[in-house]
């Protein structure tokens, strides 16, 4: 019956079969964590635990669906009755049923980031605050952080430390914005992503005898994946469900403190480090055998992470016997870095026969992708950048989804504003401002306010027709599924005619995008893979909830033939045959903002650890001695993280261009680094009567004379003005091709 357990190693088997009481599984990278989670759920069901009594929380919908599919192969479709999904999707599911108890409609809207920013911008105008001082992203982050730490607007206003921080940042009225933001969401019958957590906690807190007790009885077994990524509020909800008098405390958390990298969005490593304080009798299992990576990669990860102070000690090991050393690509400029990385990928494809989808370039910031993109195009390698504009953020998609959202929830103010005059129906900004003013004064929605404002006959007729269309589709939706409702809305709204009239390439693309969305809705109504529920809800409201919680990586196609470019944060949970980590320089990775804070340096090191452990067979690290930052050429030093890897695990690129830039700056100590001592020795002619030419007069194709390198020809010049960098081929030295910053070089033009 339990034959599937035979494939587990001893520690994995213990983690699977210890079903009762608190359990903490510390799962190193590539240690079979998903296998353990899958088998644990299957084992629970085999032991007679009702699937309905199991709550399994993950961080992506894709992971939840894949886990459900795997378990169904072991124990059948009973697994679909398990409450399995992301924190946000599971909590939204509960709130759909219970929201009226805290004053929200069951069909509440879910605001995405852009919706939230739109609301904040409206509030800034209302309060007559300067958006340059009250940056909308900063304000949104402050509100999000407050919610994640269970701080309500009233608590925020009374918190002297928070008020002082806002005053220091020249945003002293943030507490007012927060208060109005919450009021706006309530008027619009909407929750943002943080509310899905905060309002659930509030629901459980305010309804202990019915709602909280109901879900405590239901969720007898709780599993939490990626526990190191939970924030204060998520753990607070988990403890409400699990920590109470006479509780069986059947909780299993799985995670790795060494992969805690999301502090910037509220995650706290404290949750996993302090788990034993809350559950002192917790049994701990450490999954330390790595099945993913070769020995050099595994040991490099160990080398790096041992430098962190706060950690749960473990030693990752592997039985894989061989593998290439880690390649270090030392580059003079960021352009050369891009070129070397692209050439290395060509080598991986030709020499080792890797496919494009097996290769990834990872970097600290999304802005670094540009140079890699340019060089990949040079060698004609297809790629995809993650972190760009999402399909669901395109204007035409947001327009159409706004129609669907308003059909489901007439109080959705952001949806109303977006489509009240699209397609154009003679209702301008001044009219919409009147709606807003009335709604604010009377604490009602824009839909309700619009009925109270006197309009011109033409505008009044347009508004009446618009409302009739929305109500007509809403009425028909009660007896129809999401696809048929959406198709009806597409036609009756005027969007279909509007998009079909634009015959430009851009217009056709917009129409194709909306049709692709409709295809997705059709798939939702016909397939059951989107939901773990036995009786799937195919309504428009259910579809909108599922689509609002999709992440970019949920949409990715792992079989597609492209090289992946993404930030390290986005790469967590993924693996590739070959990984190149770019931009390994001080003040870039680790970042400048982390350089003076030991705790932030530890997080940057964990981030590097995650990057290293994405690689299965090949790992390359690259850095550039010079890089353009905000239009200025910046000198860089190699990242401290490179030095933390033992030298015997590294192989320096044989085609490395010697660091000519630094050789030219021996008299400038600020520009020196540890590589200067490795300067090549070569003979050169004795130069007399040398006279340097103005740097701005040097052009491609010229012959020049240098006091150290002798005669050479300028092959190319990159950059502009004082940031020009010349590639020069010298005649009589080792490694004759050099890149030289012209404003520092002394070159004489040879006639």
Contact 510, 500 (CB under 8 A): no
How far apart CA 525 and CA 509 sit, in angstroms, is 25
* Report for 149-153, 508-512, 698-702, 727-731: range of highest mean pLDDT: 149-153
Q: What's the pLDDT score for residue 239?
A: 96
Confidence bin at 554 (pLDDT 50/70/90): low
Q: What's the pLDDT score for residue 52?
A: 92
Contact 362, 582 (CB under 8 A): yes
What are the tens digits of pLDDT across the range 296-310? Answer: 999 999 999 999 988
* Report for 251-255, 366-370, 544-548: range of highest mean pLDDT: 251-255
Q: Look at residue 665 and tell me whether its pLDDT is greater than 90.
A: no
Q: Is 259 a catalytic residue?
A: yes
Confidence bin at 678 (pLDDT 50/70/90): very low
DSSP structure string for 181-235: HHHHHHHTTEEEHHHHHHHHHHHHHH-IIIIIHHHHHH-SEEEESSGGG-BHHHH
Q: What's the pLDDT score for residue 550?
A: 62
Q: Is 614 a catalytic residue?
A: yes
Q: Is 226 a catalytic residue?
A: yes
Q: What's the pLDDT score for residue 44?
A: 93
- Catalytic-labelled residue, pool 12, 13, 33, 616: 33
Q: Look at residue 737 and tell me whether its pLDDT is greater than 80.
A: no
What are the tens digits of pLDDT across the range 391-402? Answer: 677 888 899 999
Q: How many other C-beta atoms lie within 10 A of the C-beta of residue 290?
A: 23
How far apart CA 442 and CA 436 sit, in angstroms, is 10
Q: What's the pLDDT score for residue 301?
A: 96
Q: What's the pLDDT score for residue 662?
A: 38
Confidence bin at 538 (pLDDT 50/70/90): confident
Q: What's the pLDDT score for residue 426?
A: 84
The Cα diameter of the chain in Å comes to 95
H/E element holding 651?
strand 650-652
Q: What's the pLDDT score for residue 738?
A: 78
How far apart CA 147 and CA 156 sit, in angstroms, is 10
Q: Look at residue 671 and tell me whether its pLDDT is greater than 60.
A: no
Q: What's the pLDDT score for residue 601?
A: 94
Q: What's the pLDDT score for residue 668?
A: 36
What does pLDDT average to over the chain? Answer: 86
Of 85-94, 219-228, 660-669, minimum mean pLDDT range:
660-669
Q: Look at residue 548 and tell me whether its pLDDT is greater than 80.
A: no
Q: What's the pLDDT score for residue 655?
A: 59
Confidence bin at 555 (pLDDT 50/70/90): low
Confidence bin at 573 (pLDDT 50/70/90): confident
Confidence bin at 128 (pLDDT 50/70/90): very high
Q: What percent of the chain has pLDDT over 70?
A: 90
Q: What's the pLDDT score for residue 654?
A: 61
CA 190 from centre of chain: 24
Confidence bin at 531 (pLDDT 50/70/90): very low
- Please give the backbone phi and psi of residue 685, each rounded to the nearest 5 degrees, phi first: -70, 155
Mean pLDDT of 223-235: 94
CA 652 from centre of chain: 31
- Per 3-state DSSP, what percentage of the chain is helix, strand, and coil (rounded to 5)? 50, 15, 35
Q: Is 552 helix (H, G, I), strand (E, B) or coil?
A: helix
Q: What percent of the chain has pLDDT over 90?
A: 53
Give the angle 285-288-294 at the CA atoms, nearest 5°: 165
Classify residue 454 as exposed, middle or buried by CB count within 10 Å of its CB (0-12, 13-18, 19+). Answer: exposed
Q: What's the pLDDT score for residue 7?
A: 84
Structure tokens at 205: 């807190």
Confidence bin at 729 (pLDDT 50/70/90): confident
Higher pLDDT, 185 or 558: 185
Q: Is 225 a catalytic residue?
A: yes
Q: What's the pLDDT score for residue 360?
A: 97
- Catalytic-labelled residue, pool 19, 34, 141, 737: 34
Q: Is 600 helix (H, G, I), strand (E, B) or coil?
A: helix
H/E element holding 626?
strand 615-629
* Report for 185-194, 374-383, 513-522, 695-704: range of highest mean pLDDT: 185-194
Confidence bin at 666 (pLDDT 50/70/90): very low
H/E element holding 465?
helix 457-477
- Catalytic-labelled residue, pool 226, 336, 412, 481: 226
Confidence bin at 533 (pLDDT 50/70/90): very low
Mean pLDDT of 248-270: 91
Confidence bin at 72 (pLDDT 50/70/90): confident
Structure tokens at 24: 């903490």
| Distance (Å) of CA 541 to CA 77, 93, 200, 447 | 25, 11, 19, 19
Q: What's the pLDDT score for residue 715?
A: 86
Confidence bin at 682 (pLDDT 50/70/90): very low
Q: What is the dihedral of CA 625, 628, 629, 635, to 10 degrees?
A: 30
Q: Look at residue 675 and tell me whether its pLDDT is greater than 70.
A: no
Q: Look at residue 504 and tell me whether its pLDDT is greater than 80.
A: no
Q: What's the pLDDT score for residue 390?
A: 59
Q: Look at residue 112 and tell me whether its pLDDT is greater than 90.
A: no
H/E element holding 45?
helix 33-46
- Catalytic-labelled residue, pool 411, 510, 538, 614: 614
Of 159-173, 239-253, 412-426, 554-568, minimum mean pLDDT range:
554-568
Contact 18, 25 (CB under 8 A): no
Mean pLDDT of 169-184: 95
How far apart CA 239 and CA 275 sit, in angstroms, is 11
- Catalytic-labelled residue, pool 98, 122, 195, 225: 225
284 - beta bridge partners? 24
- Catalytic-labelled residue, pool 38, 60, 228, 259: 259
What are the tens digits of pLDDT across the range 48-66? Answer: 999 999 999 987 777 777 7
Confidence bin at 549 (pLDDT 50/70/90): confident
């Amino acid at each position: 019956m339990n034959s599937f357990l035979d494939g587990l190693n001893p520690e994995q088997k213990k983690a699977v079969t210890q079903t009762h009481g608190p359990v903490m599984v510390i799962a190193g990278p590539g240690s079979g964590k998903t296998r353990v989670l899958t088998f644990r759920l299957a084992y629970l069901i085999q032991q007679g635990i009702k699937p309905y009594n199991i709550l399994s929380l993950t961080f992506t919908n894709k992971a939840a669906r894949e886990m459900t599919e795997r378990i169904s192969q072991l124990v059948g479709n009973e697994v679909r009755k398990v409450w399995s999904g992301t924190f946000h999707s599971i909590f939204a599911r509960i709130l759909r049923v219970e929201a009226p108890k805290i004053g929200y409609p069951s069909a509440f809207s879910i605001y995405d980031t852009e919706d939230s920013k739109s609301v904040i911008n409206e509030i800034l105008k209302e309060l007559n605050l300067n958006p340059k001082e009250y940056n909308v992203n900063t304000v949104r982050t402050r509100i999000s952080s407050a919610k994640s730490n269970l701080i309500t607007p009233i608590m925020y206003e009374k918190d002297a430390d928070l008020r002082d921080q806002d005053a220091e940042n020249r945003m002293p009225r943030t507490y007012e914005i927060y208060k109005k933001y919450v009021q706006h969401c309530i008027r619009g019958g909407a929750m943002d992503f943080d509310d899905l957590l905060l309002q659930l906690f509030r629901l459980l807190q305010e309804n202990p005898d019915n709602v909280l007790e109901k879900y405590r009885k239901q969720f007898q077994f709780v599993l939490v994946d990626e526990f190191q990524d939970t924030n204060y509020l998520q753990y607070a909800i988990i403890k409400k469900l699990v920590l109470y008098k006479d509780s069986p405390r059947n909780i299993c958390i799985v995670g790795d403190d060494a992969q805690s990298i999301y502090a910037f969005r509220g995650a706290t490593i404290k949750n996993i480090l302090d788990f034993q304080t809350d559950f002192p009798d917790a049994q701990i299992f450490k999954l330390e055998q790595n099945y993913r990576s070769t020995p050099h990669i595994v040991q490099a990860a160990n080398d790096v992470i041992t430098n962190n102070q706060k950690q749960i000690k473990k030693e990752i090991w592997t039985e894989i016997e061989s593998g290439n050393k880690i390649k270090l690509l030392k580059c003079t400029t960021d352009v050369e870095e891009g070129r070397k990385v692209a050439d290395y990928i060509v080598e991986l494809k030709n020499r080792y026969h890797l496919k494009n989808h097996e290769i990834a370039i990872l970097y600290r910031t999304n802005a670094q992708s540009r140079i890699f993109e340019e060089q990949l195009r040079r060698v004609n390698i297809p790629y995809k950048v993650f972190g760009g504009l999402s399909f669901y953020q395109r204007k035409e998609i947001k327009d159409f989804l706004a129609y669907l959202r308003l059909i489901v929830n007439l109080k959705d103010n952001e949806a109303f504003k977006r489509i009240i005059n699209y397609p154009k129906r003679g209702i301008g900004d001044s009219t919409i401002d009147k709606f807003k003013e009335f709604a604010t004064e009377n604490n009602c929605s824009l839909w309700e306010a619009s009925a109270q404002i006197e309009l011109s006959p033409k505008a009044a007729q347009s508004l009446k027709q618009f409302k009739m269309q929305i109500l007509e589709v809403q009425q028909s939706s009660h007896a129809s599924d999401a696809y048929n409702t959406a198709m009806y809305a597409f036609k009756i709204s005027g969007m279909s005619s509007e998009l079909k009239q634009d015959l430009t390439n851009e217009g056709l693309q917009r129409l194709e995008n909306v049709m692709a969305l409709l295809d997705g809705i059709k798939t939702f109504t016909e397939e059951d893979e989107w939901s773990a529920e036995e009786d799937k809800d195919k309504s428009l409201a259910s579809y909108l909830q599922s689509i609002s919680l999709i992440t970019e990586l949920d949409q990715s196609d792992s079989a597609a033939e492209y090289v992946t470019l993404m930030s390290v944060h986005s790469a967590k949970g993924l693996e590739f045959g070959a990984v190149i980590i770019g931009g390994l320089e001080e003040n870039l990775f680790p970042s400048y903002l982390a350089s003076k804070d030991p705790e932030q340096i530890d997080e940057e090191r964990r981030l590097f650890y995650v990057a290293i452990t994405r690689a299965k067979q090949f790992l390359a690290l690259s850095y550039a001695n010079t890089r353009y930052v905000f239009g200025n050429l910046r000198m860089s030093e190699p990242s401290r993280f490179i030095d933390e890897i033992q030298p015997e695990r590294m192989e320096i690129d044989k085609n490395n261009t010697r660091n000519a830039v630094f050789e030219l700056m021996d008299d400038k100590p600020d520009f020196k680094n540890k590589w200067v001592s490795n300067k090549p020795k070569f003979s050169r002619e004795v130069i007399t009567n040398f006279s340097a030419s103005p740097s701005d007069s040097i052009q491609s194709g010229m012959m020049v004379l240098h006091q150290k390198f002798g005669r050479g020809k300028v092959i190319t010049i990159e950059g502009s003005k004082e940031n020009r960098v010349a590639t020069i081929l010298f005649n009589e030295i080792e490694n004759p091709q050099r890149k030289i910053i012209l404003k520092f070089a002394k070159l004489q033009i040879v006639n």
